[in-house]
Amino acid sequence: MEMTEKPRILVVDDDKMIREGCERILARMGCEVATAPNGEVALRTLEGASFSVVLLDLMMPGIEGFKVLTLIRQFWPDILVIVITGYATIETAIEAMKRGAYGFIPKPFEGDQLRVMVGRAIERKQLKEDVRRMEQERQKTLQDLDAEKSRTRSVVLAMPDGVAVTDPEGVVVLMNPAFLRLLSLEPSRRPGEPISAYLPDAELCRQLLEVSRGRLDDPTQGISYEFSPREEKFLLAHMTPVLSETGECRGAVTVLVDVTHLKALDRIKSAFVAQVSHELRSPLSTIHQQLAVVLNELVAEVPEEQRNILARAKEKTLGLIALIGDLLDLSRIEAGVHLKEPKPIALEELLKGVVDFLFARAKGRQQTLTLELPQEKLPLVDGDPLALESVFGNLITNAINYTQDGGEIRVRAARDGGQIRVAVQDNGIGIEEKHLAKIFERFYRVKNEKTRAITGTGLGLSIVKGIVDGLGGSISVESRPGAGSTFTVSLPPSRSSG
Ligand code: ADP
């Protein structure tokens, strides 16, 4: 029964006057009233609709009033029964209450008596209804909460990515099966231990602890870290702090994504570039040589204009050959070839070789190219000689290219603290401040009046940086437009040299 509905009341009495009298009074109280002259009709009426209160005359022909009371209590226990009787003795009253009547009105009664009694019954009925509804709502809210919790749980459990939640101390409070699977841990492993008990990478654990403690510069942004838990497996960890409403750090969520297939794809891509570059190199070299032959030997027979076209074509093939060389270098760095079998190398010898090789080119532009070495022997460095030649070859070639005719290029090697430093200095066109951070990126070239005529691929410095980083060294640049540039490479000494 809804609260907004009118309370429905059944009046059961064989006295027509009383039935009609009650009906009038109750209708005025705002009730919906039905009447029945005897027990049989009353029971049938109750079957047809739901009632809140029954006013029941105990003394009627046919079924005895007490019998009707018992049946109502049995089949409609929620209905409140108020008995009315002319035999208003204590015994009948007690008997009626014992059988579950809610109240008792002796005949004859005043309208007020009826109103008060029925009013109280309706109130009580509504109170009970309210309590029942509240209980139902509470149950429903609990059910919803439960469903929500289990939904979230199912999502976390079913996620293909690994998820772990750590508290500010770096102790794991929650993790999903994928997390354990990605790290090849037993599916039965439980949370509760420090993160280092589950993650095999010390640096990752250190970073995660920083994030869990809220030590990030920008705690709204997480950080990412790639690591390899075992051979041929690469995982990317995204770590994000969990912040409370007041911005305090409550811990961190780490999501592990398997990037092994992306790595494989990357390797295939590099291999493809290497393969294609390799295949292109010989025919291009042939074309270049043939153009050179045509230009050199048929000078007399070829008209001036066509000779220019051929010269430009030769120039372009040279550019393509350089690009292919750079691409091959780059794919070698990506494949880590230069790191596979490092050898201890004497930089003095290596630098002499490179400078000798490029001396003619500098001379062709009336530039001076000098090499300054320290008196004392330099410590050896570990690396692949071809890769190191590529580093200094690229830097010196750049110095030659980006310096005007007659300029000066100095290569200096020296010991500096624990490191070995090689500086390649020129007094050429220099680089504007805004480009300095970008010139080590792949394919980045400074475009201005001075560089327009200089051909290049934009790959040289990215190759240099790739190699130097791979050897555990670093590269820096200082430059002023119009004054010149100095590129400085720092390398750690060989481990085998002690
Ligand atoms: P590129 O093939 O264009 O030389 P690099 O990666 O070697 O490619 O160099 C990137 C850019 O850095 C060049 O395009 C040039 O603008 C600038 N650069 C490099 N070395 C020098 C230098 N010694 N002097 C002035 N600019 C330089």
Give tens-digit pLDDT for 293-311.
Answer: 888 887 777 788 888 888 8
pLDDT of residue 338: 64
Is 70 exceeded by the pLDDT of residue 337?
no
Instruction: Please enumerate in sequence order all residues whose Cβ is within 8 A of that of 283, keeping only pairs 6 or more positions apart, or say none.
Output: none
Global pTM value:
0.53
Region 487-493: mean pLDDT is 96
Residue 299 pLDDT: 73
Identify the pLDDT of residue 341. Answer: 75
- pLDDT-derived band of residue 86, with 50, 70 and 90 as boundaries? confident
Q: What is the pLDDT of residue 43?
A: 93
What number does the ligand 1 atom closest to the CA of 456 have? 2
Q: Whose Cα sits closest to atom 21 in ligand 1? A: 398
> Residue range 437-443: average pLDDT?
89
The set of protein residues with a Cβ atom below 6 angstroms from ligand 1 is: 394, 398-399, 402, 426, 428-431, 439, 444-446, 451, 456-462, 485
Query: Average model confidence (pLDDT) for the chain?
Result: 89
Percent of the chain at pLDDT exceeding 70: 97
274 pLDDT more than 90: no
Instruction: Give the per-residue pLDDT at 342.
Output: 84
Encode pLDDT of 153-204 as tens digits: 888 888 889 999 999 999 999 999 999 999 999 999 999 999 999 998 998 9
Residue to substitute in 318, 394, 402, 444 for testing ligand 1 pocket (most ligand atoms within 8 angstroms of CB): 402
Atom 18 in ligand 1: which residue has the minimum CA distance? 398
